[in-house]
């Protein structure tokens, strides 16, 4: 092929890939998740000079993506009020391009150009990849650095290794569990060097010494700064696999089934086993190890297979390997065999592409996942829509506010936020409870609030309601997550129900504010067109509001789908109802709710 024709084909491939991505964005829409806002809160504080702290000066490591947090903080250095989601998406799409380059490079190690390009197209047609890119999370940057690191290591001169390990240090900085591939490739190099009789301690130190020193310095510095060896998120979710040992394996199998990649496994096996090389061994062993690790920790709740997405490029590359090898074997036979083999290979690729694309749904599980993804998006957009009002709840910066949505309240208020799930609260993460809740979201500590005496609680989602949505103080109390369990030790009579009202749209956010000496509860204008008022009787009420949930077994009760069955949750109670619905036996797969019980 002449250089000009190659350039034309390359440009056509890039244009087709761009169309695929645009097509996926049109399907997914403005997909967001509240968890990304937790990282944004740290980025905002770092970029504005407050340091890597949560909400208003809370020193706890509630993020697990240090490098991503630092990159995003640059937006606050450049502008006082940046569009942080736009910044995250611009960066993520840059990393997505790098991911495509790395995937093509890995595929080309053992496959032809056509199969290697097909591997990149396979990623472009995966709706989960688009959700991850739009989410604001570090998933795509992490996958890109991992893929580029493996490619750099496998193509680097084994006699003069220099820079490949720095990419794995970046992987370890991008996500806390990135230390696993860093340790893996280091161990692999030692084994490979010994097997090839070229092992030299001096050469190993020259290659790995500086990168490991850099990572060790980071690890010890963050341990000293936050006081724990691992982020609070790790401790908050540490009981997932212990309580549900089958969840992780189910998570892995569901991801393979939903993406259609299970159909590619025979060709993946062929690509690895036929004339095995060090490259094939590294990619195959790491991919399998990563899947086992994810199964061990129990997976994740987000509807885009977040924990397994980083190995999707590796599976796509091995898929391309197997395809090239199978086609090479078929070409040695009769034309009928070649036609049949070509048709079967093309059908396999088409099947995997269609299964990974959410435009085509063939099973109830796929429909369930689509519904859950749409629910998470709409739920997060609802939280963001309420941001102008929730920022007006507090009177002074640094006042304590309790929430079960740790992202939006940390980013858009000046409160010192207490995260009810323990992701951003050290005490709950270390000493919280999991009775009656779904531990994939974290832990809770209903008894802690009597000691902390927080100033504010807020009514649960939907945050934006009509100003007359509640008729009494007791109804507002019932709308607080775990209000019954908290009320066992905290006197709700010490709190006054209030609402922030946007007069132009007739929308309100309801909250509870603790009585304090010298504080009056009179109507005030918080901003032009936004007022704070306390509509109900200021008479003290009983310690536990009538009808409030009395058990820590209250769960989020609506808008969710069971991860085990993929069926929608029924029986949504009204916002002014008489307490929690009975705790369901199925495991919810989203983090949103529309009542005060979870």
Q: Say how far residue 594 (Cα) sits from the centre of its chain.
A: 21
CA–CA distance from 391 to each of 3, 51, 531 (Å)?
A: 58, 21, 12
> pLDDT at position 537, please?
62
Query: Distance between CA 465 and CA 378 in Å, rounded?
Result: 15
Judged against a pLDDT cut of 80, whether residue 241 lies above it is answered with no
What confidence score (pLDDT) does residue 437 get? 80
| Tokens (6 digits) for 438 | 């779904």
Q: Give the pTM.
A: 0.88
Q: Following CA atoms 100, 105, 111, 114 in sequence, which dihedral angle do they give, to the nearest 10 degrees?
A: 40
pLDDT at 244: 79
pLDDT of residue 570 exceeding 70, the answer is: no
* 3-state percent helix, strand, coil for the chain, nearest multiple of 5: 55, 5, 40
Distance, CA of 238 to CA of 298 (rounded, Å): 9
14-51 tens-digit pLDDT: 999 999 999 999 989 999 999 999 999 999 999 999 99
Mean pLDDT of 354-377: 84
Instruction: Of 52-66, 228-242, 246-260, 571-585, give the lowest mean pLDDT range.
Output: 571-585
Q: Is residue 564 pLDDT above 80, yes or no?
A: no
pLDDT of residue 273: 94
Q: Of the given ranges (73-82, 124-133, 358-367), which has the lowest mean pLDDT? A: 358-367
Query: 484 pLDDT exceeds 80?
Result: yes
Task: Examine the pLDDT at 577 and tell me if it is beyond 90.
Answer: no
Region 64-77: mean pLDDT is 97
At 409, is the secondary structure helix, strand, or coil? helix
The per-residue pLDDT for 6 is 85
186 phi/psi in degrees, rounded to 5? -65, -45
Contact 313, 143 (CB under 8 A): yes
Phi and psi of 358, rounded to 5°? -70, -5
What percent of the chain clears pLDDT 70, i.e. is strictly above it? 89
Report whether pLDDT(556) > 70. Answer: no
* Cβ contact 407:400 at 8 Å: no
| Residue 565 pLDDT greater than 70, yes or no | no
Report the distance separating Cα 363 and Cα 159, nearest Å. Answer: 51
pLDDT at 263 over 70: yes
Q: CA-CA distance, 383 to 408, in Å (whole number)?
A: 7
User: Do 69 and 415 meet the contact criterion of CB atoms below 8 Å apart?
Assistant: no
Query: What are the strands of the beta sheet with 495-502, ordered from one edge?
Result: 416-419, 400-403, 456-458, 507-514, 495-502, 530-533, 524-527
Average pLDDT value for residue range 142-147: 98
Instruction: Pick the more confident residue, 221 or 435.
Output: 221
Of 507, 533, 513, 521, the closest CA to residue 388 belongs to: 507
Average pLDDT over residues 550-563: 36
**Mean pLDDT value of segment 323-338:** 93
Average model confidence (pLDDT) across the chain: 88
Four-point Cα dihedral 511, 515, 518, 522, nearest 10: 40
Rounded distance, CA 284 to CA 315, Å? Answer: 8
What band does 538 get if pLDDT is binned at 50, 70 and 90?
low
d(CA 561, CA 583): 14
Segment holding 396, helix H or strand E: none
Residue 553: predicted pLDDT: 34
The span from the CA of 476 to the CA of 457, in Å, is 10
Contact predicate 303/589, CB 8 Å: yes
Output the pLDDT for position 571: 31
pLDDT in tens, 271-282: 999 988 999 999
244: number of Cβ within 10 Å: 18
> Containing H/E element for 43?
helix 34-47
> Looking at residue 438, what is its pLDDT?
82
Average the pLDDT over 501-513 and give the result: 96
């Amino acid at each position: 092929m002449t250089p000009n024709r190659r350039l034309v084909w390359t440009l056509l491939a890039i244009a087709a890939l761009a169309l695929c991505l645009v097509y996926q964005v049109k399907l997914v829409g403005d997909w967001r998740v509240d968890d990304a806002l937790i990282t944004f809160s740290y980025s905002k504080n770092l970029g504005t000079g407050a340091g890597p702290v949560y909400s208003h000066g809370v020193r706890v490591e509630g993020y697990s993506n240090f490098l991503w947090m630092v990159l995003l903080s640059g937006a606050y250095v450049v502008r006082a009020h940046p569009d942080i989601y736009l910044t995250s998406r611009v960066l993520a799409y840059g990393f997505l391009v790098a991911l495509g380059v790395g995937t093509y490079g890995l595929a080309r190690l053992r496959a032809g150009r056509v199969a290697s390009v097909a591997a990149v197209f396979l990623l472009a047609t995966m709706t989960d990849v688009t959700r991850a890119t739009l989410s604001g999370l570090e998933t795509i940057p992490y996958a890109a650095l991992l893929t580029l690191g493996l490619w750099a290591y496998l193509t680097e001169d084994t006699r003069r290794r220099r820079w490949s390990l720095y990419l794995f240090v970046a992987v370890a900085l991008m996500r806390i569990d990135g230390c696993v591939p860093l340790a893996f490739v280091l161990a692999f190099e030692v084994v490979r060097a010994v097997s090839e009789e070229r092992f030299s301690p001096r050469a190993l130190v020259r290659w790995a010494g500086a990168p490991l020193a850099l990572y060790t310095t980071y690890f010890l510095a963050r341990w000293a700064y936050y006081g724990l060896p691992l982020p609070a998120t790790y401790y908050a979710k540490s009981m997932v696999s212990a309580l549900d040992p089958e969840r992780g394996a189910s998570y892995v199998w569901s991801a393979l089934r939903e993406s259609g990649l299970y159909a590619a496994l025979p060709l993946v096996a062929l690509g690895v086993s036929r004339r095995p090389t060090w490259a094939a061994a590294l990619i195959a062993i790491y991919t399998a190890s990563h899947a086992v690790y994810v199964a061990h920790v129990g997976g994740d709740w987000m509807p885009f297979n977040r924990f397994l997405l980083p190995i999707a490029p590796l599976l796509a590359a091995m898929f391309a390997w197997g395809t090239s090898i199978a086609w090479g074997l078929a070409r040695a036979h009769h034309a009928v065999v070649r036609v049949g083999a070509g048709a079967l290979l093309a059908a396999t690729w088409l099947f995997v592409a269609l299964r990974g694309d959410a435009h085509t749904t063939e099973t109830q599980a796929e429909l369930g996942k689509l519904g859950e993804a749409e629910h998470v998006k709409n739920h997060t957009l609802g939280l963001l829509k309420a941001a102008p009002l929730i920022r007006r709840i507090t009177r002074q910066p640094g006042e304590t506010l309790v929430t079960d949505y740790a992202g939006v309240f940390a980013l858009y208020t000046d409160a010192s936020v207490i995260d009810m799930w323990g992701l951003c609260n050290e005490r709950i993460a270390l000493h919280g409870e999991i009775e009656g809740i779904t531990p994939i979201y974290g832990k809770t500590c209903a008894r802690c609030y009597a000691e902390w005496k927080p100033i504010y609680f807020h009514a649960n989602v939907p945050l934006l309601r009509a100003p007359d949505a509640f008729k009494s103080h007791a109804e507002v109390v019932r709308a607080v997550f775990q209000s019954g369990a908290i009320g066992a030790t905290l006197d709700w009579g010490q709190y006054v129900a209030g609402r922030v009202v946007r007069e132009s749209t007739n929308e309100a956010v309801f909250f509870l504010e603790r009585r304090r000496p010298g504080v009056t509860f009179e109507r005030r204008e918080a901003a032009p067109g936004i007022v704070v008022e306390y509509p109900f009787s200021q008479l003290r009420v009983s310690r536990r509001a009538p009808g409030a949930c009395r058990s820590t077994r209250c769960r989020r009760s609506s808008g969710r789908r069971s991860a085990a069955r993929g069926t929608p949750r029924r029986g949504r109670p009204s916002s002014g109802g008489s307490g929690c619905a009975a705790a369901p036996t199925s495991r919810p797969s989203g983090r949103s709710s529309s009542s005060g019980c979870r």
